Amino acid sequence: MARYVRVSTISFPGAGGAVEDRVERARQSASEWLDRAALDRPDIVCLPETFAALGLSNEEWFKTAEPVPGPTTEVLAAKAREYHMYVICPLVEQQGDKVYNSAVLIDREGQILGAYHKIHPTISEIEVGITPGTEPTVFTTDFGQIGCAICYDLNFRQVIEGLKAKGAEMVFFPSMYRGGLQLRIWAYDFGVFVASATPGEQSAIVNPLGRVLVESSNYERIISRRLNLDCRVLHLDYNHPKFEDLKRKYGPAVEIEVATPEASCLLISHHPEVTVEDILREFELEPRDAYLARANAVRTQALSR
C-alpha cells in the first residue's frame, strides 16, 4: 500500500559576516530557505550539520551551544507549523553540563519529537568538549520510521546497523562532508533511503538500490523527491521467474526496479490497498536479507556433514 513522502534537503551555505551575530543571521537566513523549500510542499526538510554555526572556529562553534527547546528550534518550529512539515534541525545542544552535536526532529505542529546525539564526533570535537552520543535513534513519523546519522558517523557501520535494527526505513544525513560513495553503500547494503544535507554541492537523495535520485549544486541548493516507502529489496535468485505473473495481476500498481549488476531489485507497491508484504506472501517472494541468511544456513549445514 503506497506510502508516499516528499523529502527535501537544503545545502544551506551559512550566513557569513561578523562572528558576534552570525548565529542569529543564520537562523533568519535558514528560515527564508525553508520558505523556498516549502514551495515543493515537502513532508520533511533537513538542514546541514550545526547549520547556524557554519564558518566558526571550533572554540566559537562550541560556544553556540543552546538548550532544546531554544532560540534555533523556536525559529524552525514556526516554519514547521506554518507549512505543516517536519524539520530536522541540527545544532550544538546544551543539556545540563553536557554538550552534544545533535539533530533535533520537529513535527508538523512545531513540537519537538526528540533529538539524536552524534555517536562519533571527530577527535577535534571531543577535544573541544563535545560528548559522544551512545544510541542510534529512530523516530516514528506519520509516514514511516526515520533515523539520523551526522557527518563522521558515516565511517562507523554500527550506526547504520543500529538504525536498521530499530526499523529505520530512511536515514537523514546532516553533514559537513558529502559522503559520496559511502551514502550509496549504506543505502544498498541496508535497503534504506538516504537523504543528505551539506553546506556545499552534492547533497543527495539515494534509493535502497544505492542509486542517486538527485543531487544539489551551487545553482540549486534545494533538492526534493517524492518517495514511496512501501518497498523491499529482493535478490533476483528464485524471485525473477515470478515477476511476469506478478505484473499480469497488478500491472503499474507494482513497480520492479532491477539492478542487474548487483542481481537485486526494488519491489514497490503503488497499490492503494495491497502492501509489499502482502505481495511477498502472495507470490512467495523472498527479501534479499532473508535469502542471504538462508544461504548462510545452508552453507553451515553443508559444513556439518
DSSP 152-183: GGGG-HHHHHHHHHTT-SEEEEE-SS--THHH
Confidence of residue 16 (pLDDT cuts 50, 70, 90): confident
End-to-end CA distance of the chain: 44
If you ran DSSP here, which 8-state letter would residue 17 be given?
Answer: S
The span from the CA of 3 to the CA of 230, in Å, is 6
Q: What's the confidence (pLDDT) of residue 228? A: 98
CB-CB neighbours of 142 under 10 Å = 10
If you ran DSSP here, which 8-state letter would residue 89 be given?
Answer: E
pLDDT in tens, 96-134: 999 999 999 999 999 999 999 999 999 999 999 999 999
The span from the CA of 112 to the CA of 38, in Å, is 19
Amino acid at 217: S
The span from the CA of 53 to the CA of 94, in Å, is 14
Confidence of residue 17 (pLDDT cuts 50, 70, 90): confident
Are the C-beta atoms of residues 115 and 103 closer than 8 Å to each other?
Answer: yes
The span from the CA of 54 to the CA of 200, in Å, is 11
Residue 82 has pLDDT above 90, yes or no: yes
pLDDT in tens, 266-287: 999 999 999 999 999 999 999 9
The span from the CA of 108 to the CA of 86, in Å, is 5
The predicted model scores a pTM of 0.96
* Element of type H or E holding 228: strand 222-228
